[in-house]
Amino acid sequence: MSEKIEYTPFHPRWYRPHIPVFWWLRRRSYLLFVLRELSSVFVAWFVVFLLLLVNAVAQGPDDYRRFLDWSAGPGVLSLNVIALCFIVLHAVTWLFMLAPHAMVVRLRGKRLPAAVVGAGNLVAWVLASALVASLILG
């Protein structure tokens, strides 16, 4: 439609603002967004870590012990703590911010508000965690 109009010979000189490097610091939601994007790196790291663990278990008790010692070292430990924080951020934003908007849950023909869906997700998460914890610890 509109693009058929030939602007070129008369085109005004538009100003296109360039985006500053630290644009994502200007707003909390932008910061959160960049951190969540960054969290994918740590999700990947956890997968690698898990594969290393499985490999160590498969190699036998010695390798497994060596793996545990390596994991307990300050470097790997702190890396994992940071990774955990990012994973939690990733999970929380997904479960409680995104999913309630993506899912349409109806009760007696009425759509439940996103907050209720989010709360439901939280309850489900706690229950699942409790189940896993009881399996490991119990």
Partner 1 sequence: MTLSHDVLIVGGGGAGLRAAIAVAEDDARLSVAIVSKVYPMRSHTVSAEGGAAAVIRPDDSLDEHAYDTISGGDWLCAQDAVEVFVKEAPGELLRLEHWGCPWSREPDGRVAVRPFGGMKKMRTWYAADRTGFHLLHTLFQTALQYERIARYDEWYVMKLLVDDGRVVGVVAVELMSGRIEAITAKAVILCTGGCGQIYPFTTNAAIKTGDGLGLAYRAGAPLKDMEFVQYHPTGLPFTGILVTEAARAEGGWLINKDGYRYLQDYDLGTPSPKPVLRSMELGPRDRLSQAFVKEIEKGRTLDTPYGPVVHLDLRHLGETVIDARLPFVRELCRSYENIDPVHELIPVRPVVHYMMGGVHTDIHGATPLEGLFAAGEAACVSINGANRLGSNSLPELLVFGARAGRAAASFASGAQGGTAVRPAVQAQVEDERRRLERDLFHRDGKEPISAIREEMRATMEEGAGIYRSGDSLAKAADRLSVLQERFRSARLEDRSRTFNTELLAALELSFMLDVAEIIVHCALLREESRGAHQRVDFPARDDHRFLANSLVHRDADGSQRVEYPPVTITRWPPGERVYGR
Partner 2 sequence: MTDRITLRVTRYRPESETEPTAQEYEIPLRKEWAILDGLNHIKDHLDGTLSYRWSCRMGVCGSCGMTVNGEPKLTCATFLEDYAPGPIRVEPLSNFPVVRDLVVDIGDFMRKLPQIKPWLIRSEQEPPAENEYPQLPAEREEYERFSMCINCMLCYAACPVYGLDQEFLGPAAIALAQRYNLDSRDQGASERMDVLSAAEGIWACTFVGECSAVCPKDVDPAGAIQRYKFTAAMESLKTLLLPRGAR
27 binds partner 2 (CB under 8 A): yes
Count of residues in contact with partner 2, rule CB under 8 A: 30
16 binds partner 2 (CB under 8 A): yes
Q: Count other Cβ atoms within 10 Å, centred on residue 103.
A: 13
Structure-block tokens of residue 89: 């951020």
Whole-number minimum distance, CB 101 to partner 1, in Å? 22
Q: Residue 111 pairs with which residues in a beta bridge?
A: 106
Among 5, 19, 81, 136, binds partner 1 (CB under 8 A): 5
Question: Which residue from 98, 64, 96, 67 is spatially nearest to 80, judged by alpha carbons?
Answer: 67
Structure-block tokens of residue 126: 């706690």
DSSP state of 113: P
- Interacting partner of 62 out of partner 2, partner 1, none (Cβ under 5 to 8 A depending on kind): none
- Interacting partner of 4 out of partner 1, partner 2, none (Cβ under 5 to 8 A depending on kind): partner 1
Give whichever of 80 and 93 is closer to partner 2, judged by the CB atom.
Answer: 93
Burial 6-37 (b: 16+ CB within 10 A, else e): eeeeeeeeeeeeeeeeeebeeeeeeeeeeebe
Q: Where along the sequence are the contacts to partner 2 (CB under 8 A)?
A: 1-3, 12-17, 19, 23-24, 26-27, 29-30, 32-33, 36-37, 93, 97-99, 101-104, 109, 114
Q: Where along the sequence are the contacts to partner 1 (CB under 8 A)?
A: 1-2, 4-7, 10-13
